Structure 1
Amino acid sequence: MTVSLLSLSHFRSHRALRLEFDGRPVAISGANGAGKTNILEAVSLLSPGRGLRGATSEEFIRRPEAIGWKIAADVSGPGGLHRLETWAEPGGTRQVRLDDKGSTQLALGQVMRVLWLVPAMDRLWLEGAEGRRKFLDRMALSFFPDHAEAALAYEKAMRQRNRLFRDDVSDPHWYSALEARMAETGAIITANRSAVLARIKSAQAGAVSAFPRADLSLSHPEDDKGNLAAALALGRRRDMAAGRALIGPHRADLEAVYSDKGVPVAMCSTGEQKALLISLILANARALAAETGFAPVLLLDEVAAHLDPGRRAALYDEICALGAQALMTGTDASLFDSLGGRAQTLVVAADGNQSGVTQ
């Protein structure tokens, strides 16, 4: 999968920007604050969701103009060449157009598969379970475009059930209907997550990589015995006291062990955790390429800064061997020297009002 043309209008620091790509990895260098990550964020919005920084539509608006923003791209993938556009006006919701027809964010998942690694994810194994669930669900979405729809339906039913608790509703029929919906969509979520873990395990086992392997598993704070609807009904009184559901896929956690050492990733060094994250992103990409015949687009923000020269070169070799279009950022162009002619290079410079890009 590749992006051949990317156009930005009043998006973050970019008033107007047009970039053409030839399918090779792209090395983007420039000073902090120049707008490098904003380019990656724009590409991340060609897939469902709020992008690699989880921002709102209002946060994408370039200031001080505040006239709305737009992203347009030509992308190629399993379905051929497509034109994707997404935009929002101040105070409005994000809109999507696919091949000149109004569409939805969920439809983007059928066209583009995008994976990313950003510095904020470096603490993935040290912080709360919510971030790890999001990481796992992004992997699931890359394989199963309907995963987002199931997750949204589950969240909606759970919020409605929580509202019944707050309103002190006692009619069991209302609860039963919502619990059945949570069980139906929760089963899809759990099945997708489990299938992804199996794919990642297989992709890691069959690869020769300079990056360490992590054994992943899915844990739940309480076993629902495979019948979530019954478990929710049984725990209804306890959930009412808590004001929320205490079991279900929204409570799951992703656990990881450094395979060669048998040590939980949370107990590994910062460098080891970074290497393990890179390993998982590469495994996800390899598994997608094996299943679909197309490597996903990779967005790697400041990925090379904390790698030694040998591992940095190994990363670039693996990306090129995969045939993936990877957009990578770094403050120093020399970080990408070992890519040589295998990559396009962009230099981003800000003059205080506008980010300019030299290709």
Structure 2
Amino acid sequence: MIMHTLTLSNFRNHKNFTIDFNGDSVLIVGPNGSGKSNILEAIHYLSTTKSLRVRFDKELISHNENIMRIEAGAKISGDLTNLELVLVASAVFENAATKKVKINKVSKTLQKFAGTITSVLFSPPDIELFSGPPSRRRRYMDQVLYQTNHSYKRAHAQYTRVLKQRNKVLWQVKEKKANISQLDFWNAAMIQTASILHEKRQEYFDFINANISRYAKELNGTDFTYDLIYTKSELSNERLQQYIDREIAARTTLLGPHRDDFRVVLSKYDIATFGSRGQQRSTLLALKLCELDFITQKTGQRPILLLDDIFSELDEKHRKAVTEIVGMQQTIITSADAMKTLPGTANTMKVIKL
């Protein structure tokens, strides 16, 4: 999978910006605030149709603008493919926006569009994956699986709609405007879609747990045991009955995949609480290596690797490990200083200055 061109219109600080990769790995150099990270975010957003950096997609649209567009030309399985994603801000609702996507100028659903190109993004703020809120970790799970499984994306969209309707009925029951039996339909629909999400998430964590300790050993030279503990919020009719009084009182659904979480345990210690900054950083790198391999295994193509100004965060040993990965797929790196990237990278990669 190779990206050739990228055009951004009203995406964050890029009003009208085009970059030509020519299928090469690229080093993008520019001062802080020049929009380097935004370029990588746009590519990853094109892969997943979701951003890890904002809660509302509308925030991606440039200030005082109403429409944002991302266009890309990429070679996928040997064929040149043109991708387009347009985001239109709502004139009625403050944080709402409408998303439209096309492949080769043909309109597609978001479910079919996500994962057309695949990418893995590694940036310094990603370390918050361990210590941040559970919603951050759920978004991470979703963004990996959106790229590898259309049925997951479809089930997630269905689950979100069902959850919204069920919460509405809970509110109506609380206000005595609906009968509790009206929940039965939504309970059945929620259980059905939740089972798909739980199955695919478990599959991903099984892959991670089978590989992350090996990657961590290669990176650190240690025999520490790493485990990702996936905490499912299980759904069943029995559990829903147990929680129904609390849910009516809270007017919201307290069970289901939207309450899932995971944590990383390093030799029996939670890395978010007891891990040093260095341990968290190396664990994150090992996790990203697993993510690369998982997407490759599921799609049959190596994803684009996006490295966002990470080299000031890595010691020499980990820089060397990243050096060995860079040549395995198209890699796009950002840096404020070309000389502070990987050893020799600035001399071997195409350099684009902002």
TM-score, reference length from structure 1: 0.85
Deviates more, 1:274-283 or 1:227-236: 227-236
CA contact (8 A) 2:30 2:36 kept: yes
SS of the residue 1:45 aligns to: helix
Change beyond 3 A, Cα 1:143–1:68? closer
SS of the residue 2:282 aligns to: helix
**2:282 counterpart letter in structure 1:** A
CA contact (8 A) 1:50 1:56 kept: no
Deviates more, 1:188-197 or 1:91-100: 91-100
> Does residue 87 in structure 1 map to residue 82 in structure 2?
no
CA contact (8 A) 2:319 2:342 kept: no
SS of the residue 2:334 aligns to: strand
Change beyond 3 A, Cα 1:13–1:4? same
2:219 to 207, 210, 225: 210
**1:8 counterpart letter in structure 2:** L
Give the superposition deviation at 1:206: 5.8
Matching residue of 1:244: 252
Matching residue of 1:308: 315
CA contact (8 A) 1:209 1:318 kept: no
SS of the residue 2:4 aligns to: strand
CA contact (8 A) 2:115 2:148 kept: no
1:110, 1:79 → 2: CA distance?
16
Change beyond 3 A, Cα 1:235–1:90? closer
CA contact (8 A) 1:158 1:245 kept: yes
CA contact (8 A) 1:214 1:256 kept: yes
2:338, 2:115 → 1: CA distance?
34
1:229 to 237, 241, 265: 237
> Does residue 319 in structure 1 map to residue 326 in structure 2?
yes
Write out aligned runs for 1:73-84 (5 A): 73-78=72-77, 80-84=79-83
Write out aligned runs for 1:319-358 (5 A): 319-320=326-327, 323-340=328-345, 341-348=347-354
Give the superposition deviation at 1:63: 4.2
1:144 to 145, 149, 155: 149
> Does residue 71 in structure 1 map to residue 70 in structure 2?
yes
Give the fraction of aligned pairs with identical amino acids, expressed as a percent. 26
Matching residue of 1:190: 198
Change beyond 3 A, Cα 1:12–1:214? same
SS of the residue 1:233 aligns to: helix
1:106 to 94, 111, 121: 111
Structure having the larger proportion of residues in helix: 2
TM-score, reference length from structure 2: 0.87
1:292 to 299, 322, 341: 299
In structure 1, stretches of 5+ residues that fail to align are: 349-359
Deviates more, 1:338-347 or 1:172-181: 338-347
Give the superposition deviation at 1:183: 0.4
Deviations along 1:215-269, one digit per CA (max 9) or x if unpaired, are: 2121146xx4xx62332134212211222222222222112112xx442211101
SS of the residue 2:16 aligns to: strand
